[in-house]
Amino acid sequence: MFSPDRVNGIGLYIGLRNNTDTKLVTWDDGTALASDLPWKNEDDANNLNGRPFGRLHRLANLIATRGTQSKMALCGNHVNLPTEAHGASNPGQHAVGVSSSLSVTKVFSYLECVLLCGQDHRCRAAEYNSDLLTCMTLGPGSYSGLAGNINSQMFVRNGFS
């Protein structure tokens, strides 16, 4: 993440881009920058001086930087990106003692249900019902255990029961 630059020193890419379509500097998710960001050079705030990326300088201000490759950002308001969820599949099981759910969504496969759970940091478990084609995602403390049900399959994230 640290990248050397002979002119500007070392900096950390934090998710600023010069949008070539709009000619505006935005965060990676497309949101506008705050007007009071601490730029090292005020001209960089307008269009990054034609440079494609912004970085956090070692002196704690923002700078424009060169480059042609896509950069991975340290920060950003990235919504609905695929995430990784580790857990156990429990075929023929469903949640019992359910007090509330995060969501109940129509899906066509158990895999879709697991992916829904993986995209929500609050999700601790997900129940897929093959008869109803539904996925119920469950948050912390929202169910008491598992019981047999031939039409259901549970996904329980690692570290949660």
Cα distance between residue 116 and residue 124, in whole Å: 11
Q: Is residue 13 part of a domain?
A: yes
Query: Who wins on pLDDT, 104 or 30?
Result: 104
In terms of domains, do 141 and 91 share one?
yes
Encode 121-159: b = buried (16+ Cβ within 10 Å), e = exposed.
Answer: eebbbbbbbeeeebbbbbbeebbeebeebeebbbbbbee
pLDDT averaged over every residue in the chain: 78
In terms of domains, do 92 and 131 share one?
yes
- Confidence bin at 101 (pLDDT 50/70/90): very high
User: Collapsing DSSP states into helix, strand and coil, what is residue 85?
Assistant: coil
pLDDT at 11: 60
CA dihedral angle for residue 19, residue 23, residue 29, residue 33, rounded to 10 degrees: 130
Q: Is residue 142 part of a domain?
A: yes
Q: What are phi and psi of 58, to 5 degrees?
A: -65, -15
The yes-or-no verdict on residue 81 having pLDDT over 70 is no
Q: Is residue 75 part of a domain?
A: no
Q: What share of the chain is helix, strand, coil (3-state, %, to 5)?
A: 10, 40, 50
Q: Is residue 124 part of a domain?
A: yes
Q: Is residue 96 part of a domain?
A: yes
- Confidence bin at 50 (pLDDT 50/70/90): low
**pLDDT digits over 132-141, tens only?**
999 999 998 8
pLDDT at 51: 67
How large is the average pLDDT for residues 70-80? Answer: 53
In terms of domains, do 18 and 56 share one?
yes
In terms of domains, do 59 and 92 share one?
no
CATH code at position 110: 3.50.4.10
Is 75 within 8 Å of 141 (Cβ atoms)?
Answer: no
In terms of domains, do 58 and 113 share one?
no
pTM assigned to the model? 0.51
Cα distance between residue 6 and residue 18, in whole Å: 21
Domain containing residue 105: 87-157
Q: Is residue 92 part of a domain?
A: yes
Could you give the number of structural domains in the chain?
A: 2
Query: Who wins on pLDDT, 126 or 158?
Result: 126
pLDDT at 110: 93
pLDDT at 150: 96
